[in-house]
Structure 1
């Protein structure tokens, strides 16, 4: 039976509650953890890099692993999407709290600080992967119609808009993490709220495939016969598709760019924008806008998505990023107000574009289902395999940037940079400015080259690719 308008809205609302919960905690985690460990816990560069390497390996490994389990396991908590969210939610919320409470009063270079960073990153990403892979699979499996998927995107962006405001309120309440006690209390409240949101999804959002006994029976029978050879064979089928390869190359650079902005926008703005021009209150609003405005942009682009499709919109944004970064580079670092607007606009464009990526991945899942005549879509495996190749960028970005900054004595200048030797400070600020401008220029060029040959461009005009039942 086809989904009614009311039905898809109910499912979209339940689906979006996990987005609300994850946005509340993901925004805070990605925005603050690097500054916390570098500036407050005073982790050494060596331990920071070691933690990022461990995180990168775990980050790449756990996504295909959980993807395989969720698509092929017999245990209901893994096999059923809504149960994966339901049972994973409390552990996801607890893992979010791990970085914000130091295990002891850290001295500079304390080895235990490195251990805490490794455990916090791995535990958090493991639970994020388990919960959000199931949610991503729901996106592809709730409906195959472009119109219904846009409805999911719409509800998703409203939820993400509300959730992303956590950075704004946290910045105001904790004075951008200067008041650590207020920050910790806020983090506890956010963790409990996020758990409640994801719990609601787990209780109320069910994939169309979980309603069909025959498909579920076929799935269980197929799972019992799967070996590691079969897993590698299925993964090979996924990664050898041209559109999937083009997508993951483009997405790798998008993840890198997003991690670059999330982890270092706070640091770059503190150094490159004088405090007498933008006081802390205004900067808090600026940081919040970087997380809130992407959702407003997506919500206002619904008609364009229906008319043009995601392919042209994503490609246009890459050209816009290239143009804006080139103009900023030509203007130079002395135009502080323009630089402030550029930092926010760049973050908005990158985040908004990333929010659309479930649409091409869902189309790739649909194409894979038809090409190989599968009895059920390998949704989690496709999302997990995508993450296998793109998630390492989350670690590479902070490692690369911290290495570059420390070549200009950032480790020595980060605490009292307003009273530091001016020549050294100017060199550091020059390096930061070139990172801010050249990073989006290089990434945009590479993404345009990768995305242009992508061939699934007309799904917004197609009817459902297979019958919804």
Structure 2
């Protein structure tokens, strides 16, 4: 009796809560991964420098290419060159396919996370394989989860509601980092390893439970007049025929890229995102202006105010994270525009998220490299250059080198300060320019939403007539 009551309570949870909880199961793993994987291989497994940089180089290529690759493999069945003909999948079937994929890839992500914390191969080989394996499953989970944001709901209100719950659960998932400090010990790694096993078990079981629950909720919405899954915006209502049969010619990847190259708002969006209602457009524009204003004020204040500098660094990080969360909603609008512009039967949600990542992820990887080069160029200080080590008590074959001039330390500090302030100023100016060219907001966005809504309703009426 108690089990039935608990099952009924779970089935009564809002879809937004079940959908958002999957962000928690990803976040509790990924935050720990980002904080500890380098330190583990450098300090615990003693990886050498060459193997480390080879692994990072291969990871850079894999991390950039796997998003569009997996997106294409996921969505190619939804793309055809004859968008109005044939019979095939409904929007409900598309959602269920993505939920089933999350049910597989989520637990596999948890298993790949475990592979970091147990030495099972030479350090260099394990580093390379673990990075590629983990990032592959993380990409699959992220693509399907983000694609569900575009497929579960059509209206901006419902998508914002879903994204809000994702943000809440992601914030809760960051608590795993604070808990990890109690277990991290380079000398005795067993306790931290047990902690990671517990995280992986919780994440894997959470993905299994959440996807099963979401699948049952989507299936239970079949035929209900109010479409209780989310809202009455047409996202899951009815059995809309959206994907053509094999008789319709399949679009090739080259044709899709040509279509994307003509998608003006997509090009301006990835250009803005690379250097990183009211509506999302206005809020994002306001965040860019605020970041620019704070950077200019910090530049005028100078480096002699450490408290103000710490506040500037923290606020810049908060604004950047907030912008990234909002830009997920913008990509879902691009999914709608891509569907309307190219008259597709079904939105290529995962593929479009993958194409955005193809352009933006290299920027995230090259940012520290560019910062290191700029610091060396401006101050002449090389972070990787170490003084030669001389054993204690050994005779010195050359005289003691002169002490560095006292002015070098202030010059280095000033160089770091200008780098810290001028980079956000440059990025904010570039983002404001590219964002001003983005037109998918206001009247145009309302038009795109209306056309997708009308397309969904028209296809649903065709099925009912048949």
TM-score bracket for the superposition, by shorter chain length? 0.7 to 0.9
Cα offset, 1:122, TM superposition: 1.5
**Bigger radius of gyration among the two:** 2
Q: Deviations over 1:107-128 (max 9, x none)?
A: xxxxx54433322322121111
The one of 325, 341, 354 equivalent to 1:355 is: 325
**Structure 2: runs of 5 or more not aligned:** 1-9, 79-88, 219-233, 388-402, 461-466
**Distance (whole Å) between structure 2 residues aligned to residue 133 and residue 179 of structure 1:** 37
- Map 1:372-383; keep pairs closer than 5 Å: 372-383=342-353
Pairing 1:159–2:200 present: no
- Map 1:32-431; keep pairs closer than 5 Å: 32-37=36-41, 47-73=51-77, 80-102=97-119, 112-171=122-181, 173-174=183-184, 181-206=190-215, 215=241, 218-219=243-244, 221=246, 225-226=249-250, 230-254=252-276, 307-401=277-371, 408-411=381-384, 429-431=413-415
Cα 1:38–1:240 change in 2 (3 A) is: farther
Contact persistence 2:95–2:148 (CA under 8 A): no
Tell me the TM-score normalized by structure 2.
Answer: 0.73
Tell me the TM-score normalized by structure 1.
Answer: 0.73
Cα offset, 1:93, TM superposition: 1.2
Cα 1:146–1:33 change in 2 (3 A) is: same
Q: Deviations over 1:104-163 (max 9, x none)?
A: 7xxxxxxx5443332232212111111111111110010101111111022112111211
Aligned to 1:439: 423
**Distance (whole Å) between structure 2 residues aligned to residue 220 and residue 158 of structure 1:** 40
Cα offset, 1:352, TM superposition: 1.1
Higher helix share goes to which structure? Answer: 1
SS of residue paired to 2:246: helix
Aligned to 2:5: none
Cα 1:94–1:73 change in 2 (3 A) is: farther
Contact persistence 2:375–2:419 (CA under 8 A): no
Cα 1:432–1:198 change in 2 (3 A) is: farther
Cα offset, 1:178, TM superposition: 8.9
Considering only aligned residues, what root-mean-square deviation do their CA atoms show, in Å? 3.7
Contact persistence 1:77–1:87 (CA under 8 A): no
Cα 1:35–1:349 change in 2 (3 A) is: farther
**Distance (whole Å) between structure 1 residues aligned to residue 117 and residue 413 of structure 2:** 28
Contact persistence 1:80–1:210 (CA under 8 A): no
Contact persistence 1:63–1:388 (CA under 8 A): yes
Cα offset, 1:21, TM superposition: 1.1
Cα 1:376–1:341 change in 2 (3 A) is: same
**Structure 1: runs of 5 or more not aligned:** 1-5, 105-111, 255-306, 415-420
